[in-house]
Amino acid sequence: MAILTIIGNIFDLKNNILGIIPARGGSKGIPGKNVFPLNGKPLISYTIEAGINSKLLTDLIVSTDSYEIKKVSEKFGAKVPFMRPMELSSDSALAIPTIQHAISAYEKIIGYKYDYIIMLQPTAPLRESYDIDNALQMLMDSDADSIISVVDVDNYHPEKMKVIKGDFLFDLKKTNQENPPRQSLSRVYIVNGAIYATKRDVFMTCNTFKGDSCLHYVMPDERSANIDKYVDIAVAEYLLNN
């Protein structure tokens, strides 16, 4: 009896984590982007495989309005337990209500609530399963509400950026030195789209991926490709093959 109690306590301590891959059918930059071939495999398959190989995810589902994406996703091992409604499938549909719908719909199916959720966008195909697990572990070991993956902007620094007003070029940000060397600038990061993990209740009640306290998970350039245009496919294929 004591052994059963200990085993029960161990399971009680385990966090239930839902991985959600949002993948709508419409795409303007690359038609059929989420199933577009990347190095011989559908783009979404890379994110599915990373999620399936995670040691911490309890479940992995795909939210889509496309039966083609559903078929491809299930072929690579992801669950597609429902179809996304039309009002969440347009060009103007936002990520937060889309993920909230997925959480509510799947929790009704399984009959319990998750502790954490993580959005894994298929347009970031080079993130690895250990990125997912490392980020989730950092979040669970902390008191923070969330963790989001970022990459160093490198030479695309705000202090090097310009704006055009009329016919003339102006600095985006006033600096003391014109065209400062990269080495003299502070480190600045940009979200790379690979990982958005948060406490389930914070996300559902506060309508934010960040909450009040958000950790950072820094990823290198070679795992931060984000697919939006055809040239991004070529870059990602180069990185995969090198």
17-21, 113-117, 151-155, 232-236: which has the minimum mean pLDDT? 151-155
Q: Residue for token digits 């985006």? A: 172
CA atoms of 125 and 42, how far apart (whole Å): 10
Phi and psi angles of residue 238, each rounded to the nearest 5 degrees, phi first: -60, -45
Q: Residue for token digits 């009640």? A: 205
Q: What is the dihedral of CA 227, 231, 236, 242, to 10 degrees?
A: -170
Model confidence at 5, pLDDT cuts 50, 70, 90, reads very low
Model confidence at 177, pLDDT cuts 50, 70, 90, reads confident
pLDDT in tens, 108-166: 999 999 999 999 999 999 999 999 999 999 999 999 999 999 999 988 888 888 999 99
CA atoms of 126 and 149, how far apart (whole Å): 13
pTM of the predicted protein model: 0.88
**Residue 148, strand partner residues:** 196, 216
Cβ atoms within 10 Å, residue 126: 24
What residue ranges define each of the domains in the chain, with the CATH number in brackets?
2-149+191-241 (3.90.550.10), 154-187 (no CATH)
**Percentage of the chain exceeding pLDDT 90:** 77
Which token pair is 101? 């719908």
Using only C-alpha atoms, the chain has a radius of gyration, in whole angstroms, of: 20
**Residue 116, strand partner residues:** 17, 199
Report helix, strand or coil for 150.
Answer: strand
Return the pLDDT at 169.
Answer: 92
End-to-end CA distance of the chain: 55
What integer is the mean pLDDT of 98-109?
97
